[in-house]
Structure 1
Amino acid sequence: MPTIAALKSAVSGTAAPGSRAPGIVAPLTAGATYARLLHLLVGWIFAGIVLMVYPGTGDKGLGEILMKSIALDTVLLALAALIPAARRAEGVQARLLLVPDREEDIATEPSRTWADRRRTAGWVIGRVALGSAVGFALVFALTAGYQGLTGPRALWYLPLSPLMALGSGWFLVYAGRLQLAMAVRLLGPSPAERLAEAELRAERLLERNRLARELHDSIGHALTVTVLQAGAAREVGDPAFVAKALEVIEETGRRAMDDLERTLVLLRETPAGANGVATEQPGIDQLPALFDTARAAGSPVDARVEVPPGTLPGVLSRESYRIVQEGVTNALKYAPGEPVDIRIAVRDGLLELSCANRLPGVGRSADGTARASVGGAGRGATRKGGKGLRGIRERATLLGGEATAGTSEDGSGQWVLTVRLPLRLGT
């Protein structure tokens, strides 16, 4: 069985690691060399057919025959290059027979601009010209070699025949490489196509990042609630409380599975995902269920949502839900059991979201200022921005807004997440 390295060497024309074939001989035995030779000979055959049809090989002079044949070849090839599909056909054929290192270096898209047509015309004319030159040179070399080996000077030609064969083989190798270089230059993606490809890659990267944030927010919230409920049920031991905790865990897990299924539909790029089926994302109107989950986990939630129905665009509603979800998840994770204060309102063309919770271990002194108990201040005060907060900032930035998070400056000992988003996206 051939190894992967050997198969790769057969395509690229290089010797495989551990191969005993000398470097000077390896390209002569590579399949890519002969595939490229076939591509060259196709161009020569086209020129030969045109030559036979017109001007023919009658009693005209050789110079006249060649000039008329070249002129007719050029006109026919230039006219063919005007057809948009010609670029696609040539690109597919070049990918198959010229064996480029990267297939994307040779485009397979139809011509869309006159620049594409001009480059295609240059390619087909150059291809036929180079193929004709290689074809005639090959015929001349074979004829000269045969005559030399069968003629009266056969004893002189016989010792030189290996060098002549080696020289002819390397001539074909370099001709094929020149043909490939021409294809990359003339059939390669145009600047507009490269820009479109770069934009497509950027869109895919942004989509992957968005899906990663969706999974992080949804699954992270579900796992946090599940861990808190399971721990509380084990500590309390009350059958009624355990039953309620299991109910919350079940409901949270079901929602997480729904979110996971929606994300997988998008990742699979199925028709269902393309048509929006089973991909509806939760919006700001579903926040009450989120708050109920947090309350069931043991953290009181005081929520005030002052957003008239229909005020928010769909994307803003969905992203706002995820931002609040991550804020609540952080509160449950870093300050379990502490009250969570949620404020959402529309003011001066902005959607303002605020999520505040008291840091664990922070009490009140007699004068009303925050006071850290021994061993407790460090836990809340040293909270650092992880993936959740970074995801919130990314969401806010993409929506044209801003997000800040940190301990409050009024001495209340609270951790406050504040997000401001414009109602009109892009402003």
Structure 2
Amino acid sequence: MPRILAPLLSATTYARWLHLVIGLVFVGVVLMVYPGVEGWSSGELLARAVPLDAALLGLAALVPAMRRAEGVQARLLLVPDREQDIAVEPARGWADRRRTAAWLVGRVVLGGLVGGASVLVPAAAFDLVARPEQAVFGLRSAGAGGPGWAPLLAPVLLFALGWLVVWAGRLQLAMAVRLLGPSPAERLAAAELRAERLLERNLLARELHDSIGHALTVTVLQAGAAREVGDPAFAAKALEVIEETGRRAMDDLERTLALLRDPGGPGEPGGPAPAPGAGLGTGPGSGEDARERPGIDRLPALFETARAAGSPVEARVDVPSGALPGVLSREGYRIVQEGVTNALKYAPGEPISVRIAVRDGSLELRCANALRPQSARSHGGSPRRGGKGLRGIRERAVLLGGEATAGAESGEWVLTVRVPLRLGG
């Protein structure tokens, strides 16, 4: 019983009822201004007035703002589960105008039926009870051989009217979602935009992880080494490295937070479109900001930071000047940075070997460091398997059209990345 009565008592039902009855208003206005309608039969009314109504509604649908007005009204009165299912944008083309015209015609037809029933059914229920001498739907309440139980039909009629409104409201909502909602092409574009925004934010999060994680690792190692050595000169050098590393991390943090706060940034409504290659690992480096992010040319400073932290670094970078696109240079720096950070974190003090070269149309990066026996034992020989940093490296490589592998090889932890010089190649 509650499931039967609940829709009849819901405020949503009555809001949709109002939306349906508004559709009847248009029919009434047309009938009032149409000449000679008084003497028409129902058949003549349908044959002559309906085509006129449809023509007028089609003309109204040509106005782009009509679609927006109908969408706003439908959102307010039809109470959809998700407002975004009903668009509130003006018509952009003829396809939108055709769908708006179909919506207006369907709304008026359904509203006319429900509106007419809303007038006739309560009147009939009243007559069954209050006017026993008057026949209603072929029934008479009392007298003249009429059945005495006819008044019992009054609540049945009202109940049926209530459920007619419920189902008509649901049908009206389905029509609104179908005809006023985004088209399949628009839905696909919206899904692509949401995926692009999510990708942008994931890339920003990865940037923070790489930059801040590296800074914290270097800071912890430098502070610990300065405390153990106890040499004032070494401590001063350590503080200098900590200061410089912290300053670079703060710059990265401020730049990333500025992108997150900017409502007109890449991938946001009203903002510029992401730069070409934004979905291929540029992240926050699109546009002007890309030139501020470090690239392969900044690797010597990274290696010096690692050496200052107590880990010898042997690096060989065989990359001709200008051979790398900007995105590969920036992403290559982040990949090497994460590899060095992992080496400092899991094998502090162990030698680090870095090889970067361009071969056969691809950029190859290799970062290796000796495994500490206790580290290998405690982590089952794979001290960094499944970490966020390695997952980020693999994601970067895949987005660039390449691949990344990492694991223990002959007493070393080896990270290898290979990506094509031509994005998507």
Match for residue 285 of structure 1? Answer: 297
Summarize the Cα distance change of 1:60–1:219 in structure 2 as closer, same or farther, 3 Å threshold: same
Summarize the Cα distance change of 1:56–1:232 in structure 2 as closer, same or farther, 3 Å threshold: farther
TM-score (norm 1): 0.83
Pick one of 175, 196, 206 that aligns with 1:203.
Answer: 196
On the 8 A contact 2:363/2:420 being kept in 1, the answer is: yes
Pick one of 87, 95, 99 that aligns with 2:79.
Answer: 99
On the 8 A contact 2:74/2:86 being kept in 1, the answer is: yes
Match for residue 378 of structure 1? Answer: 377
Write the distance in 2 (CA, Å) between the matches of 1:185 and 1:271. Answer: 31
Pick one of 324, 329, 334 that aligns with 1:312.
Answer: 324
Q: Secondary structure at the match of 1:356?
A: strand
Q: Secondary structure at the match of 1:24?
A: helix
Pick one of 351, 355, 358 that aligns with 1:339.
Answer: 351
On the 8 A contact 1:218/1:259 being kept in 2, the answer is: yes
Match for residue 307 of structure 2? Answer: 295
Match for residue 7 of structure 1? Answer: none
**For 1:208-223, what aligned pairs fall within 5 Å after superposition?**
208-223=201-216
Summarize the Cα distance change of 1:56–1:96 in structure 2 as closer, same or farther, 3 Å threshold: farther
Matched, 1:123 2:103: yes
Write the distance in 2 (CA, Å) between the matches of 1:54 and 1:72. Answer: 9
Q: CA deviation at 1:36?
A: 0.7
Summarize the Cα distance change of 1:264–1:352 in structure 2 as closer, same or farther, 3 Å threshold: same
Q: CA deviation at 1:336?
A: 0.8
**For 1:73-92, what aligned pairs fall within 5 Å after superposition?**
73-92=53-72
Write the distance in 2 (CA, Å) between the matches of 1:271 and 1:139. Answer: 52
On the 8 A contact 2:347/2:371 being kept in 1, the answer is: yes
Match for residue 402 of structure 1? Answer: 403
Q: CA deviation at 1:149?
A: 4.3
Summarize the Cα distance change of 1:225–1:401 in structure 2 as closer, same or farther, 3 Å threshold: same
Write the distance in 2 (CA, Å) between the matches of 1:22 and 1:179. Answer: 24
Deviations 1:266-321 (A, max 9, x none): 22234467575667322222222211211111112222223233332221111011
Q: Secondary structure at the match of 1:145?
A: helix
**More moved, 287-296 vs 156-165:** 156-165
Q: Secondary structure at the match of 1:303?
A: strand
Letter of the 2:235 partner, please give it.
V
On the 8 A contact 2:307/2:313 being kept in 1, the answer is: yes
Work out the percentage of aligned pairs sharing the same amino acid.
Answer: 70
Q: Secondary structure at the match of 1:234?
A: helix
Matched, 1:41 2:53: no
Match for residue 357 of structure 1? Answer: 369
Q: CA deviation at 1:220?
A: 1.3
Summarize the Cα distance change of 1:186–1:377 in structure 2 as closer, same or farther, 3 Å threshold: closer
Deviations 1:372-418 (A, max 9, x none): xxx5763684324222122112111111122222334xx5x332222
Matched, 1:421 2:419: yes
Name the Cα RMSD after superposition.
2.6
Q: Secondary structure at the match of 1:345?
A: strand
Letter of the 1:403 partner, please give it.
A
Match for residue 365 of structure 1? Answer: none
**5+ residue gaps, structure 2:** 134-140, 143-147, 273-286
Write the distance in 2 (CA, Å) between the matches of 1:205 and 1:232. Answer: 40
Letter of the 2:350 partner, please give it.
E
Summarize the Cα distance change of 1:378–1:117 in structure 2 as closer, same or farther, 3 Å threshold: same
On the 8 A contact 1:402/1:420 being kept in 2, the answer is: yes
Pick one of 169, 180, 186 that aligns with 2:173.
Answer: 180
Match for residue 220 of structure 2? Answer: 227
Summarize the Cα distance change of 1:278–1:151 in structure 2 as closer, same or farther, 3 Å threshold: same
How many residues end up aligned between the 2 structures? 391
Q: CA deviation at 1:116?
A: 3.6
Write the distance in 2 (CA, Å) between the matches of 1:394 and 1:22. Answer: 52
Match for residue 390 of structure 1? Answer: 391
Q: Secondary structure at the match of 1:189?
A: coil
Q: CA deviation at 1:242?
A: 1.9
Write the distance in 1 (CA, Å) between the matches of 2:171 and 2:117. Answer: 15
Write the distance in 1 (CA, Å) between the matches of 2:78 and 2:422. Answer: 52
**More moved, 71-80 vs 139-148:** 139-148
**More moved, 219-228 vs 174-183:** 174-183
Q: Secondary structure at the match of 1:383?
A: coil
Summarize the Cα distance change of 1:208–1:145 in structure 2 as closer, same or farther, 3 Å threshold: same
Summarize the Cα distance change of 1:134–1:232 in structure 2 as closer, same or farther, 3 Å threshold: same
Q: Secondary structure at the match of 1:305?
A: strand
Write the distance in 1 (CA, Å) between the matches of 2:122 and 2:304. Answer: 87
Q: CA deviation at 1:26?
A: 2.7
Q: CA deviation at 1:161?
A: 4.2
Matched, 1:256 2:249: yes
Write the distance in 1 (CA, Å) between the matches of 2:103 and 2:295. Answer: 54
Write the distance in 1 (CA, Å) between the matches of 2:375 and 2:6. Answer: 72
**More moved, 304-313 vs 229-238:** 304-313
Match for residue 145 of structure 2? Answer: none
Q: Secondary structure at the match of 1:417?
A: strand
On the 8 A contact 2:382/2:408 being kept in 1, the answer is: no
On the 8 A contact 2:128/2:154 being kept in 1, the answer is: no
Write the distance in 2 (CA, Å) between the matches of 1:416 and 1:144. Answer: 86
Write the distance in 2 (CA, Å) between the matches of 1:147 and 1:129. Answer: 27
Q: Secondary structure at the match of 1:58?
A: helix
Summarize the Cα distance change of 1:376–1:314 in structure 2 as closer, same or farther, 3 Å threshold: closer
On the 8 A contact 1:56/1:65 being kept in 2, the answer is: no
Letter of the 1:173 partner, please give it.
V
Letter of the 1:343 partner, please give it.
R
Q: CA deviation at 1:223?
A: 1.4
Q: Secondary structure at the match of 1:25?
A: helix
On the 8 A contact 2:54/2:105 being kept in 1, the answer is: yes
Q: CA deviation at 1:124?
A: 1.2
